[in-house]
């Protein structure tokens, strides 16, 4: 899998989300997928044991699905981060 990083630009306010029990600092206005990729998360969901990351980045494939605040099958590529959000990856095993 490729390394992802944030491109240099002026950012919105920093917010903290919880990813698999660990705090991750990201920025208001980013999607969950952006925050996870920038933090180096290598697996969002699995299908038949294979790790999946965002594929389409427009909400059609569900390869980026995560559980957000106990809501399963949340598409990370479409959902903006919110301070205090709880995110679980690796769902769909």
Q: What tokens appear for 65 in the block?
A: 């699905």
Q: Which residue shows structure tokens 């059609």? A: 60
What is the arithmetic mean of pLDDT over 12-32? Answer: 94
Of 75, 73, 79, the residue nearest 30 (C-alpha): 79
Reply yes or no on whether the pLDDT at 20 is more than 60.
yes
Confidence label for 36 from pLDDT (cuts 50, 70 and 90): very high
Mean pLDDT, rounded, of the chain: 87
Q: Where are the domains of the chain?
A: 14-88
pLDDT at 2: 59
**What gap in Å lies between CA 88 and CA 5, rounded to an integer?**
21
Domain 14-88 has CATH 3.10.20.30: yes
Query: For residue 93, what are the contacts with CB-CB under 8 A and spacing of at least 6?
Result: 46, 49
Q: What is the percent of the chain where pLDDT is above 90?
A: 55
Whole-prediction pTM: 0.83
């Amino acid at each position: 899998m490729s390394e992802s990083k944030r491109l240099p630009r002026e950012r919105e306010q920093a917010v903290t989300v919880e990813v698999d029990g660990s705090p991750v600092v990201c920025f208001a206005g980013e999607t969950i997928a952006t925050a996870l990729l920038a933090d180096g998360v290598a697996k969002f969901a699995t299908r038949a044991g294979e790790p999946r990351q965002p594929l389409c980045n427009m909400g059609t494939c569900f390869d980026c699905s995560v559980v957000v605040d106990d809501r399963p099958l949340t598409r990370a590529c479409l959902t903006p981060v919110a301070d205090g959000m709880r995110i679980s990856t690796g769902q769909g095993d």
